[in-house]
Each structure stands twice: as C-alpha cells, then as structure tokens.
Amino acid sequence: MAENAPPAKSPRPPKAGDALSHAVHPANPAPLAARPIGKAKSAVRRPRIPYAKAEIAEIFRRFEMQRPEPKPELDFADAFTLLVAVVLSAQATDVGVNKATRGLFAAAPTPAAMLELGEDAVREHIRTIGLFRTKAKNVVALCRVLVETHGGAVPHDRAALEALPGVGRKTANVVLNTAFGEKTLAVDTHIFRIGNRLRLAPGKTPDAVEKGLLAIIPDAHLRHAHHWLILHGRYVCKARKPECAICIIADLCKAEVKTCDVPALLVPIEALADVRPPGQT
C-alpha cells in the first residue's frame, strides 16, 4: 500500500543522517553521476515527420526491389580509386569524373604511383573537371599521407579518412559505405533535397538530414539507402521537376510538390532498361 500512496505535497527539508536525502529533495538536484546524461542528450527533439514506421519500411522495400544491388555511377577498381574519384566528384558530374579518371587511373592506379606521377601531371589528367587545381593538389597530398602513414592503403577508419587532404565527412561516408560495407549515409545534393522535400528528414544542414535519415531508415536497408536515395533523386525526384508519374513511391510520398498519387510499376530496373529511354527509371 505504502508504494501506492500519493507523494507528499511539501517534502520536509533533508536532515543529516537521511540516507541519500540530498539526491531526492527538490532543493538538491541529483548528483551529476546519477543524472541520465545520455537520455538528456538523445532527448534532443528531431522534427516530427508525417510518416508511419510501416510507410518508411515500405518505401525502402520498394527501393530494394527496384535496385537489389545498387552501384555507384563513379568508375573505380578498389578503395583507393574510389577515394580519389569521390574527392574529384565535388561540384562535378560522375560522367565528367569518369572521363578524367580513365586516363588518370591507367597512369597511376596506386597511391605510390600517383605520388610519382606528380601534381602537374595529375592536373593535366583532370583539367576538364571543376576546381581541378585544388583537387590535383589534394589528390597528391592525400597519396603522400596514404604512403607515409597508412602503408599505401586506404584506412578503414572515419577519423583517419577525414584527416586526409580534401576529404570531409561526405567523402568518408561514401568510402566507408562502398569500399568497406559500413551502414553510412553520405548526404549529397540529391539526398539533402529528398530528405527535405519528402519530409523524411527535414534539416537545414547535411549533418541534420544525415542524422534524421539514419534515425528512421530500417537497419536492414541502411547499407544501400545511400545509393537508392541518390539514384532516386538523380533520375526521378529531380531538383527542378520531380517525375512523379514514374515514381514507385508516389502513393506514399508526402511532398507538397507531388503531382501524382499512383505509384509506377515496381520491377527491377534492369527489366525497364529495354522499354525506357536512357536516363529514365
């Protein structure tokens, strides 16, 4: 019975000798060590989203059915060439980067070879893509760190990756995901737009959208979510004019700009390649 009694309205002040009285009296907050620090941190509110858990699971189930094994559109042969390609891809198209890296990787397929090739030659190989001077400098500098600090290998470690010249969180996320199979999500312009437009993970910064998406995407789908969302943004939910009529999640989407409620036929993308023009999914 005593444990069901209502709490006293005005608790008496603590007396010396009261066991742990300092920890329970309102005038004396709990000692620091006893406070739920982790809870308070995770209690930081994310924006409410208009999707039920089952709807989010269904969105990613359809993405998986459409592209069971999504692949990046950058050409690479291993973790090193992936890293360089991603560094070069900032403010450039994948097609443009692939054109430039074809010759570059043939001339220098390893960090040591790239170092030997030198900044001037690297610059010549990549001069068709944006920011090529800075990128050439960064590529050679990061190869030097790979050779001198990591034995010529790309480190499987976020901090070590982000310490490389020209490598930020987004590039590290792509490498961790694509080269090492980690469940990371690199928020590029497409994912940032989708997170906000669909109200799946509203956020003012890529970090905020990344956190929001990581919190809602079912664990089983996290590994490939990065590629599904990029490809969906690139070919269907385009920046200027989303192609809702060919969207497989049109019935679930809660974007204000949506123009169609009927989902497109859900079949693996390869099966559509024969009947749709290139670039359409």
Of the candidates 52, 257, 267, 273, which one interacts with ligand SF4 according to CB under 6 A? 257
Does 249 bind ligand SF4 (CB under 6 A)? Our answer is yes
162 vs 243, which CB is nearer to ligand SF4? 243
Count of residues that bind ligand SF4 according to CB under 6 A? 13
Asked if residue 250 binds ligand SF4 (CB under 6 A), the reply is: yes
Q: For this structure, is 188 an active site residue?
A: yes
Interface residue with ligand SF4, options 104, 167, 172, 247 (CB under 6 A): 247
Output phi, psi for 218, to 5 deg. Answer: -55, 140
Least spacing, CB of residue 162 vs ligand SF4, in Å: 31
Shortest separation between residue 55's beta carbon and ligand SF4, angstroms = 12
Instruction: Name the minimum Å distance from CB 181 to ligand SF4.
Output: 27
| C-beta closer to ligand SF4: residue 147 or 269 | 269
Q: How far from the centroid of its chain's Cα atoms is residue 144's Cα?
A: 27
Q: Which of residues 197-216 bind ligand SF4 (CB under 6 A)?
A: 198
Report 18-47 residues binding ligand SF4 (CB under 6 A): none
Q: Is 253 in the site for ligand SF4 (CB under 6 A)?
A: yes
The interface region with ligand SF4, picked from 97-105, 142-150, 255-263, 273-281 by CB under 6 A, is 255-263
Say if CB 11 and CB 26 are below 8 A apart.
yes
In this complex, which beta carbon is closest to ligand SF4, that of residue 220 or of residue 257? Answer: 257
By CB under 6 A, tell whether 244 contacts ligand SF4.
yes
Q: How far apart are CA 174 and CA 180, in angstroms?
A: 9
- 6 phi and psi, to 5 degrees? -65, 150
Asked about 170 being catalytic, the answer comes back as yes
CB of 174 to ligand SF4, least distance (A): 22
Active-site entry in 15, 39, 170, 254: 170
Span near ligand SF4 by CB under 6 A; candidates 39-47, 121-129, 163-171, 239-247: 239-247
- The secondary structure of the chain, three-state, reads CHHHCCCCCCCCCCCCCCCCHHHHCCCCCCCHHHCCHHHHHHCCCCCCCCCCHHHHHHHHHHHHHHCCCCCCCCCCCCHHHHHHHHHHCCCCCHHHHHHHHHHHHHHCCCHHHHHHHCHHHHHHHCCCCCCHHHHHHHHHHHHHHHHHHCCCCCCCCHHHHHCCCCCCHHHHHHHHHHCCCCCCCCCCHHHHHHHHHCCCCCCCCHHHHHHHHHHHCCHHHHHHHHHHHHHHHHHCCCCCCCCHHHCCCCCCCCCCCCCCCCCCCCCCHHHHCCCCCCCCC
| Interatomic CA distance for residues 266 and 269, integer angstroms | 9
Segment contacting ligand SF4 by CB under 6 A, of 151-159, 168-176, 212-220, 250-258? 250-258
Q: Which residues are part of the catalytic machinery? A: 170, 188
Residues that bind ligand SF4 (CB under 6 A): 198, 236-237, 242-244, 247, 249-250, 253, 255, 257-258
